[in-house]
Amino acid sequence: MTEISFEAKTQIYCESDLMHDIQMAAIYPDSKTFVDKKLKYTESEIMVKYEDFKRKLQDDESMHFLLMKFVDENFEDGDELEIWVPPDFTSHPSIVDRIVDSEYKQWALSLNEVWKTLARKIKEDVKIHPELYSLIWVPNGFCIPGGRFRELYYWDTYWIVNGLLLCDMKQTARGIIENIISMVNRFGFMPNGNRVYYLNRSQPPLLILMVFNYFQNTKDFNFIFENIDTLTTEFEFWMTNRMIYFEKDGKTYHMARYFAPSQGPRPESYREDYEIAHHFENSQEQDIFYTRIKSAAETGWDFSSRWFIKDGGSHGSLRDINAPGIIPVDLNAFMHANALALSTWWIRIGNEEKSQRYRDIANEFLRGLQEVLWREDIGTWFDWDLINKKHREYFYVSNITPLWTGSYTMPKKHAATKTIQYLVDNHIIENDYSIKYNGTPSSMQASKEQWDYPNAWPPLQAFLIQGLDRTNQRTAQIIAFHLAQVWLSTNHKGFTNYQMMFEKYNSLQAGETGTGGEYLPQTGFGWTNGVILEFLDRWGRQLRRNSTDLNRTPLRKKWSYTVTEDNINGFYCT
């Protein structure tokens, strides 16, 4: 395990009696509120004052009031960000001219304006006095996701960058990518976000794919040439710190997992983690839990039954979370795509040795995806349970991620056929290809965690819909179009009703926010806007708004047979 130098790590924000007492007193309903505050004095001064404060404390009954008073005297709202208008913002981006429907055209214009409400730049005081803030300074402006999320996040930024590129803000998109590159140069990897309390974990590794999309949009290979070493460093962090060897059917595989070993609760969810951990009998079990829940946060799916391992199944609770015990489909697909991109870029730069290294790594991931995770009999990929040595045969949208990354060797026709049948078998689409939900739910398990049924999340819609579309098979593309149509419809309805975009949606109620999990529903919202703009860009010339109940409209009059590789290209929407 590579040791990461957390140069900005502080006691107050990460591990101290002061933080423990404040978080456990529940002074703020959201634990994140305290760790986002600014110090009025140096850390050492505050810690000395707190030791004196505790010595003088007479009774526990006054603790809550006195703690509030202490916080008010020594901390203040961070106010680290300033409103920032991207210099390349345009009120009429070119994507609008690729949309024929007047309502969707106006919606795209409104979403373009939303970028200005999310755009921020970090104040110079954070650069001058980093010891007073939990926020880590980055040089360029960026777009926050929205709501309680007031910093630069890792995988959210992939869709934010794509949305900005579609709105012709290439300079802004490049600056945001450069912020992430600056974090990698500083810490050796991109953390969950640019807060000191996020330095113990990352998020799904999408930096290389961000750069790939930037290059596709700008043809600026010089940007790749200038940053190829940093992009390689980010990839190698995962290869060094997140890989595991295991055996299946007598063969040894080397694949990726989420694994964020560190002590103590997550600072931004301190009370929640601490209370769960103290259901365990001893400190060793508590430390294991802390690593497991941070690892689950690293997945981006915080949280889901996907990471529960109990009695060989997934019907548990947060006490049963064990993300390091699972080989995830999506992570290994991302790693395959990243390795392939690095191989392609290194050969163009002229380094055949490095190109071959990353080609070999890509092939190793591809072998694992095919031999370990693919189930031909069921027609999809499944996460692998390292503890029980078996597939986790549950529906999660992430199962289909290899279609999105192109991480498979079988013919596209075969992959499309199997995926469509899998969607039918799980009633995501019905036998007549009608669409059951207002967005595909993350799972079929109602665990009350936010990455489970009935919530539908924008990035997962992208994996499924764009994955089907990228097979270039007619039936798959028609289904992708109608799934996109439904997702656009529910998002548009929510925007019309509330004048806002949600972080996630309720797949059972068109236009309504999803719920559950550790915090209240959030609005904004960066990746939601990005995915919508991607769909409008792809299908804007075909989409028409109408009053029909889109998700109940059959895509074919009758389907009396199972789709096969012989007929998959011959189906036309009736």
User: 135 forms bridges with which residues in the sheet?
Assistant: 195
CA torsion 178-184-190-196 (nearest 10°) is -100
The Cα–Cα gap between 102 and 100 comes to: 6
The C-alpha angle 471, 223, 112, rounded to 5 degrees, equals: 65
Q: Say how far residue 408 (Cα) sits from the centre of its chain.
A: 22
Q: Tally the C-alpha atoms within 13 A of residue 174's C-alpha that lie toward its C-beta.
A: 18
Instruction: Give 3-state DSSP helix, strand, coil % of the chain, rounded to 5.
Output: 50, 10, 40
Contact 245, 282 (CB under 8 A): no
- Please state the φ and ψ torsions of residue 127, each to the nearest 5 degrees: -70, -40
**The tokens 């961000």 sit on which residue?**
210
The Cα–Cα gap between 121 and 214 comes to: 21
Give the DSSP per-residue string, 233-291.
Answer: HHHHHHHHHSEEEEEETTEEEEEE------SS--GGGHHHHHHHHTTSSSHHHHHHHHH
Residue 503 annotated as catalytic? yes
Q: Say how far residue 122 (Cα) sits from the centre of its chain.
A: 23
- Choosing from 36, 302, 469, 537, which is the catalytic residue? 302
- Choosing from 168, 503, 512, 534, which is the catalytic residue? 503
The Cα–Cα gap between 80 and 143 comes to: 14
Contact 492, 425 (CB under 8 A): no
Q: What is the 3-state secondary structure (H, E, C) of 15-46?
A: CCHHHHHHHHCCCCCCCHHHHCCEECCCHHHH
By annotation, the residues acting in catalysis are 302, 503
